[in-house]
């Protein structure tokens, strides 16, 4: 699959044929210093202009703050981009952000599609090398519906010749490609990506790996009683699907199950959204894209953990066959749900998939969903919500998110939340009162996971789709939020 990414390589010296060099500016002892600029280039600049490069860069707006980028012309035609990387004692996330901002700037340069770019940030430690690779690749991503990539090639220049630097490069490339795969799927328009076509795409990306793929079509869903997925998909001409992707390495002692919400377009159903609220609803399958992309990367990394990823796919449309508010639905496993609102559809497809996921007796279940606007109200558009059954599980995921450089904030599942889901005609109702909607939604999902099973819910509604200008390594459109955290979580559990 063409993800419109540049050809990427690693080296310890800068290729003489590059067109653009991206270096860093850091803060050291209260002053700005350049990192990654070769000594010969600095000397030739000094001879030509009589001023240090750092002074000229500062005069053109360069700063150590990540996200700040300045363009300079180097003698001989080379273009130099100076990107902020923060304090000189850099963290992987600082480098990730600086690299991403630098590469986004490179992609916007004239002649960008044919440019050869080198990223040189004087990286040595494996985690920092990995951060540079991820930031560079993620910053070079641009959804162009099959056009040429924003730049032709990207060389990651590192300051270490050790084997662990190359390993970090390879790991970073796998992770970044997984994020870009999720971004690509999420960015596809809903007339191209729908439950059946997504299932075909999943089979295609799984084919070169050791992954196994099982797909439930509408007949199989009816036969086995997946009432939530069937109800949500009942109004669409494009039938629903449940997809399971399994990675089962020999000798693995632990098992992680991932469940993703896959609403390929959400009109709101009979509880119709506004025209403005509907426009970006192709991204409502971000959870499904994330878990599938993550399990593929986990397999490529060869992590010693069994992982099953479930994608619950449906298109939520209004029609004469659509499900209704007040309908009573039978979820897979037998529980009945009184549907409160057809625009609260994600929890219904997740309920089916969560019950199915518990049958594998995993050590941990994590579901990922663009579930509630309430979570965006609470945390904004750059932070995702984390709701877990216990603090130990929450801490495990927060640690993974921190190492991956993604922002999550733990929200509670109040003890009284299940009381708000009581129904007079079914085992429970799909929605509660208006207040604390993200908390009540998590409580609903928890009803479909046994109380003795570790489980967490990631509400990525805010940061999964960026409708503002790009920043750091985050593009406009799909962001791939949660993919890096899921991979890091699997790596932690595999140790």
Domain span at residue 315 reads 185-494
pLDDT (0 to 100) of residue 76? 75
247-263 per-position pLDDT tens digit: 999 999 999 999 999 99
Q: Does residue 21 lie in a domain region?
A: yes
Same domain assignment for residues 473 and 395: yes
Residue 113, pLDDT > 80, answer no
- Give the pLDDT band (50/70/90) at residue 2: low
Q: Can you tell me the mean pLDDT for 268-296?
A: 97
CB count within 10 Å of CB 57 equals 22
pLDDT (0 to 100) of residue 274? 95
Helix spans in 35-88 (H): 39-49, 53-59
Q: Does residue 179 lie in a domain region?
A: no
Beta bridge partners of 31: 28
Same domain assignment for residues 209 and 252: yes
**Percentage of residues of the chain with pLDDT beyond 70:** 98
Task: Provide the token pair at 2.
Answer: 């063409």
The domain spanning residue 39 has which CATH number? 3.40.220.10
Instruction: Decide if 347 is catalytic.
Output: yes
Helix spans in 324-405 (H): 346-358, 373-379, 391-404
Strand duo 116-123 + 20-28: pairing:
parallel
State the catalytic residue, choosing from 347, 356, 420, 484: 347
Residue 165, pLDDT > 60, answer yes
Residue 146, pLDDT > 80, answer no
pLDDT (0 to 100) of residue 145? 57
Reference 293, options 401, 185, 178; nearest CA is: 178
Residue 131, pLDDT > 60, answer yes
Q: Can you tell me the mean pLDDT for 36-48?
A: 87
- Give the pLDDT band (50/70/90) at residue 167: very high
The domain spanning residue 385 has which CATH number? 3.40.630.10
Same domain assignment for residues 18 and 72: yes
Q: Can you tell me the mean pLDDT for 104-123?
A: 88
What is the C-alpha to C-alpha distance for residues 305 and 477, in angstroms, rounded to an integer? 32
Least confident of 65-79, 351-365, 432-446: 65-79
Instruction: Decide if 203 is catalytic.
Output: no
Same domain assignment for residues 18 and 82: yes
Beta bridge partners of 23: 82
Same domain assignment for residues 407 and 323: yes
pLDDT (0 to 100) of residue 94? 96
Reference 370, options 280, 485, 293, 273; nearest CA is: 280
Same domain assignment for residues 284 and 432: yes
State the catalytic residue, choosing from 166, 203, 254, 273: 273
**Percentage of residues of the chain with pLDDT beyond 90:** 88
Q: Domain end: 90, 125, 160, which one?
A: 160
- Give the pLDDT band (50/70/90) at residue 414: very high
Q: Can you tell me the mean pLDDT for 476-489?
A: 98
Q: Does residue 388 lie in a domain region?
A: yes
Residue 157, pLDDT > 90, answer yes
Domain count, the chain: 2
Residue 147, pLDDT > 60, answer no
Q: Does residue 406 lie in a domain region?
A: yes
Q: Can you tell me the mean pLDDT for 380-396?
A: 97
- Give the pLDDT band (50/70/90) at residue 434: confident
Looking at every residue in the chain, the average pLDDT score rounds to 95
Same domain assignment for residues 343 and 476: yes
Q: Does residue 22 lie in a domain region?
A: yes
What is the C-alpha to C-alpha distance for residues 312 and 402, in angstroms, rounded to an integer? 28
Q: Can you tell me the mean pLDDT for 332-361?
A: 97
């Amino acid at each position: 699959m063409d993800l419109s990414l540049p050809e990427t390589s690693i080296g310890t010296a800068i290729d003489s044929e590059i067109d653009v060099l991206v270096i860093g500016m850091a803060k050291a002892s209260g002053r700005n210093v350049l990192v990654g600029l070769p000594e010969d280039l600095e000397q030739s600049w000094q001879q030509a202009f009589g001023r240090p490069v750092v002074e000229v860069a500062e005069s053109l707006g360069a700063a150590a703050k990540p996200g700040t980028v300045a363009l300079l012309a180097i003698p001989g035609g080379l273009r130099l981009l100076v990107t902020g990387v923060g304090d000189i004692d850099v963290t992987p996330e600082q480098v990730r952000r600086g690299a991403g901002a630098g590469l986004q700037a490179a992609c916007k340069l004239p002649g960008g599609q044919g440019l050869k770019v080198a990223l040189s940030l004087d990286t040595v430690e494996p985690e920092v090398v990995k951060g540079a690779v991820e930031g560079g690749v993620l910053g070079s991503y641009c959804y162009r519906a099959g056009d040429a990539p924003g730049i032709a090639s990207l060389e990651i220049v590192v300051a270490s010749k050790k084997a662990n630097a190359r390993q970090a490069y390879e790991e970073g490339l796998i992770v970044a490609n997984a994020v870009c795969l999720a971004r690509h799927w999420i960015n596809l328009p809903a007339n191209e990506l729908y439950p059946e076509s997504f299932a075909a795409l999943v089979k295609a990306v799984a084919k070169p790996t050791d992954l196994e793929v099982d797909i439930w079509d509408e007949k199989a869903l009816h036969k086995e009683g997946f009432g939530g997925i069937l109800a949500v998909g009942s109004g669409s001409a494009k039938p629903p699907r449940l997809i399971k992707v399994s990675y089962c390495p020999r000798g693995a002692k632990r098992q992680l199950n991932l469940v993703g919400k896959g609403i390929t377009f959400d009109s709101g159903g009979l509880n119709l959204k506004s025209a403005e609220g509907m426009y970006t609803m192709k991204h409502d399958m971000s959870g499904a894209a994330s878990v599938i992309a993550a399990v593929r990367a986990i397999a490529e990394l060869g992590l010693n953990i069994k992982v099953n990823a479930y994608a619950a796919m449906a298109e939520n449309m209004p029609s004469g066959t659509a499900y209704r508010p007040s309908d009573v639905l039978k979820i897979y496993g037998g529980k009945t749900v009184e549907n409160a609102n057809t625009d609260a559809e994600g929890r219904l497809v997740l309920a089916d998939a969560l019950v199915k996921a518990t049958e594998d007796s995993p050590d941990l279940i994590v579901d990922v969903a663009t579930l509630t606007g309430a979570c965006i109200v609470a945390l904004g558009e750059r932070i995702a919500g984390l709701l877990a059954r216990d603090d130990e599980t929450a801490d495990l995921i927060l640690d993974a998110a921190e190492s991956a450089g993604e922002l999550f904030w733990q929200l509670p599942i109040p003890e009284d939340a299940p009381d708000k889901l009581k129904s007079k005609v079914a085992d429970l109702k799909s929605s509660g009162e208006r207040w604390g909607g993200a908390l009540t939604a998590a409580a609903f999902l928890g009803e479909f996971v046994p109380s003795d099973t570790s489980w967490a819910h990631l509400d990525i509604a805010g940061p999964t789709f960026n409708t503002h200008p790009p920043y750091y390594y985050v593009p406009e459109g799909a962001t791939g939020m949660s993919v890096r955290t899921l991979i890091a979580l699997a790596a932690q559990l595999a140790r």
